[in-house]
Structure 1
Amino acid sequence: MDYKHLGRSGLRVSRLALGTMNFGDATDEPTAFQIMDAALEAGINFFDTADVYGGPQTPDMDKGFGISEEIIGRWLAQGGDRRDRIVLATKVYQPMGLGRNDKYLSAYHIRRACEASLRRLQTDHIDLYQMHHIDRATPWEEIWQAMDQLMREGKVTYVGSSNFAGWDIATAQNAATSRHLLGLVSEQSLYNLTARTVELEVIPALRYYGVGLIPWSPLAGGLLGGVLRKMSEGRRASDQVQQQIEQHRPQLERYEALCSDLGEQPADVALAWLLHNPVLTSAIIGPRTVEQLKDSPRALDISLSQETLRELDDIWPGPGGEAPQAYAW
């Protein structure tokens, strides 16, 4: 396993991060325990979750919420050196109750959400506390005051963002600097060969401020994982995936043919393409089984030639570069 600093921080994390959104939903607890054990064995030290993961991602008192965190907490409670071996990341923003202040980024909600996550995770600190979405109704002075207090209390070590625009990252960093804080060390964004909008303004902002990129959905929900071959072997796809396949079939055919010529699995090529970007710290993988996890590290050993990178750009065009040159003189 390879490791890299999380943005400009001194913290080193694995180039592949274990995403746990499926825990409690598509993946049951015994299997989740096996996946986390296997991740440690593979050298993955970066575990990512969110307070809302493991269910419908909306408050549902029948199904509960915070399930993914609870599963991780019970895994950590087994003891040994599990907690000391991982960098534990979770998120705040989504509705966690039916009350008016049970969501978003008010200081009121941030404090209560953090305390609840700590209880579910059965730990005394969160290594990376991420804002799950931008909240433009709450001033940055309030947000950073709440985060600063949690850091002073030792409950949070680093702060990250997710789904921020480039100008949100700039605004957040300027507000943090005025308080003499480190500010953001990471940003989780949707980024893969099929979704490259962040190349316009988010990635340039991250590079300027020294914030590490952590892409989510690196395989586009399975679309880049060899979906055509799998369907030809008799595997079924959801209606949504089938619609995406029909929308992108010519590209998928070219992509999977290219991967075959390279002698590599499509999922590994998609991850390797992301990992070649110097702004990227870790790519989040969300295995549902131990077997899926064990296949992922192959991407770290793949070196894509300039010719291959150009062909991937031709198959999956980006926005044309960075703003404003992508659309103006």
Structure 2
Amino acid sequence: MEYTQLGRTGLKVSRLVLGTMNFGPQTDEAGSHAIMDAALDAGINFFDTANVYGWGENKGRTESIIGNWLAKGGDRRDRVVLATKVYANMAPDGQSAWPNHDKLSALNIRRAVDASLKRLRTDHIDLYQFHHVDRQTPFEEIWQAIDVLVQQGKILYAGSSNFPGYKIAQANETAARRGSYGLVSEQCLYNLAERRAEMEVVPAAREYGLGVIPWSPLHGGLLGGVIKKEAEGGRRASGRAADSLASSTIRAQVQAYEDLLDKHGLEPGETALAWLLTRPGVTGPIVGPRTPEQLESALRAVELELPQEVLAGLDEIFPGPGPSPEAFAW
């Protein structure tokens, strides 16, 4: 496994991030523990979750699964850089409309971090991320709450998720005025088929020293060889991938992508991950395996060096928007 610094911090993290959103909804606790064991054995030290994972009446379940794994002992907690998120409404069932159980008020941040620590069965969270922008709460209030948690030793760093570039700037300029450390990472939708982050989000992250952590690196399976799998009678596309393939233009793009990789003997899913690892500012993509076999496939991407001919071909098929302001102004 390769490691890199998380943004401008001294913290070293693996180039692949273990996403845990499937733990609970798709993979039972025993299977989830087996995947975490395999990831740790392979050198992945960066685990990402969110307080809401498990969803609906089971929200919080994923953090509990991770907490039970950490509680098995050994050196699990010492070896893991643990990241979770705050924003979603975590009120008990039947109280979904009750105020102050969601978003980024100082009250909810305090409540949410204590609840996550209890479910995760640990005394601190390494990276505490704002899952979405809260337009009602000023960053002065957010940083005041975060600074207290840092002083208490409950969290070490703060990060953002799904922030536009101007909010990254606003957050870190406010932090600088307060003498706070500010955001150290941004978790965003970024992959070959969805490159809009390159216009503003990635440049802002690099300017302010944030590591970029792409989620949905296969764009919901669209970049994982979906057309070939359908042709061979395998699992059919669903969700975002199925919606995308309904467009004849996108289907043609994906077919060209699969044809290019077939020509070079490359696997689509591994190539999509390897491409992200070549992008400036990217710390590591989030992989969310449902099985140990899917984890093994993701691990191969770290060792994969894409030929220049392939990189050029990928840019031709999925050109991206280009840098701003040229992309929209000139």
- TM bucket by the smaller chain? over 0.9
| TM value normalised by structure 1 | 0.95
Q: In the aligned structure 1, how far is the partner of 2:328 from the partner of 2:309?
A: 25
| Distance in structure 2 (CA, Å) of the matches to 1:254 and 1:161 | 34
Please give the root-mean-square deviation of Cα atoms over the aligned residues, in Å. 1.1
Structure 1 partner of 2:82 = 88
1:74 aligned residue = 68
Cα deviation code 1:90-135 (max 9, x no counterpart): 0000111122110000000000000000000000000000000011
Asked whether 1:322 is paired with 2:316, we answer no
Number of paired residues? 322
Deviation of 1:18 after TM superposition, in Å, equals 0.2
Distance 1:107 1:93 in 2: 12
Instruction: Determine the C-alpha separation between the residues in 1 that align with 2:123 and 2:236.
Output: 41
Q: Which amino acid aligns with 2:29?
A: E
Aligned-partner Cα distance in 1 for 2:36–2:315: 34
1:326 partner SS: helix
**C-alpha displacement of 1:239:** 4.8
Question: 1:252 is matched by which residue type in structure 2?
Answer: V
- C-alpha separation between the residues in 1 aligned to 2:302 and 2:228? 23
| Worse-superposed segment, 93-102 or 111-120 | 93-102
State the distance in 2 between where 1:5 and 1:317 align. 28
Q: Report the counterpart of residue 294 of structure 2 in structure 1.
A: 292
Q: Deviations over 1:156-204 (max 9, x none)?
A: 0000000000000000000111111211110000000111111111111
1:49 aligns with 2:49: yes
Distance in 2 (CA, whole Å) between partners of 1:243 and 1:158 is 36
Residue in 2 that maps onto 1:117 = 116
Is the Cα–Cα contact under 8 Å of residues 129 and 161 in structure 2 kept in the other structure? yes
Question: Which residue number in structure 2 is paired with residue 17 of structure 1?
Answer: 17
2:105 counterpart letter in structure 1: S
- Name the amino acid aligned to 2:51: D
Aligned to 1:225: 224
**Structure 2: segments with no counterpart, 5+ residues:** none
**Amino acid across the alignment from 1:20:** T
- From 275, 281, 284, the equivalent of 1:282 is 284
Query: Quick one: structure 1 residues 165 and 242, their matched pair in 2 at CA, closer, same or farther if it must change by over 3 Å?
Result: closer
Partner of 1:185: 184
Extract structure 1 runs of 4+ deviating beyond 6 A. none
Moved more, 294-303 or 69-78: 294-303
| Deviation string, structure 1 residues 299-319 (Cα, Å, up to 9, x no partner) | 112222333222112211211
Query: How far is the alpha carbon of 1:294 from its aligned partner?
Result: 1.1
Any idea what SS the aligned residue of 1:188 has? strand
Q: TM-score, normalised by structure 2?
A: 0.95
CA distance in 2, matches of 1:43, 1:277: 21
Once residues 212 and 79 of structure 1 are traced to their aligned partners in structure 2, the CA distance between those partners, rounded to angstroms, is 30
Q: What is the one-letter code of the residue matched to 2:193?
A: T
Equivalent runs, 1:241-256 vs 2, <5 Å: 241-247=241-247, 248-256=250-258
Write the distance in 2 (CA, Å) between the matches of 1:262 and 1:85: 37
Question: Take 1:225 and 1:296, find their aligned partners in 2: how far apart are those partners?
Answer: 11
